[in-house]
Amino acid sequence: MKGNENGSTDLNTRINQSSVRLLLCTSGWVTTTAVVAFGPRLWWEFDPTMTLIAIVLNLITGAIMLVAQYRHLMSMDELQKQTHLEAMAITLGVTAIVTVTYGNMEPAGLLADTRPTNILFVTGVTYIVAVIVLWMRRTSE
């Protein structure tokens, strides 16, 4: 019986394909998000119809990205899947706590300007760190 360095070829092929799909879908969502953010001011002078079309496109590409994310998760093997699901649970908790604390800072007079999008940074970093730590804990030789 022969395998390759990382285990199953089928599994690796599956994960690679779903990763590429996820990358493309995420790129599409980021692009349409940029169009919604900058388009009204730079390209169509706040025309409400154009803005509405851009928002609908942004929501559609967001939904497509979510489906790609789900399929990517389902393409993983069970340890990878469990690691990512646990990381998502940790991320959800951390995001909720940070959001409440961050949201209270402006009314408390500690911050002059709070932006909800800043929370995305915390969410992203937490998820990446959680995946790495959980994976290392289980797979260290």
Partner 1 sequence: MKNKLKVLRAERNWTQADLASALDVTRQTVNAIEKGKYDPSLPLAFKVAALFAMPIEQIFSHAEDA
The footprint of partner 1 (CB under 8 A) covers: 1-11, 77-80, 82, 135, 137-139, 141
How many other CB atoms sit within 10 Å of the CB of residue 126? 19
- Residue carrying the six token digits 């990878």: 80
Q: What does residue 134 show for φ and ψ, rounded to 5 degrees?
A: -65, -40
Instruction: Give the C-alpha separation, 36 to 55, whole Å.
Output: 6
Residue placing its CB nearer to partner 1 in the complex, 5 or 45: 5
Min separation Cβ 25 and partner 1, Å: 24
Min separation Cβ 6 and partner 1, Å: 6
Min separation Cβ 88 and partner 1, Å: 18
Residues with Cβ within 8 Å of residue 102, at least 6 apart in sequence? 114, 118, 119
Residue placing its CB nearer to partner 1 in the complex, 23 or 138: 138
Min separation Cβ 79 and partner 1, Å: 4
Residue placing its CB nearer to partner 1 in the complex, 2 or 115: 2
**Angle of helix 48-75 versus helix 78-105 axis, rounded to 10:** 140
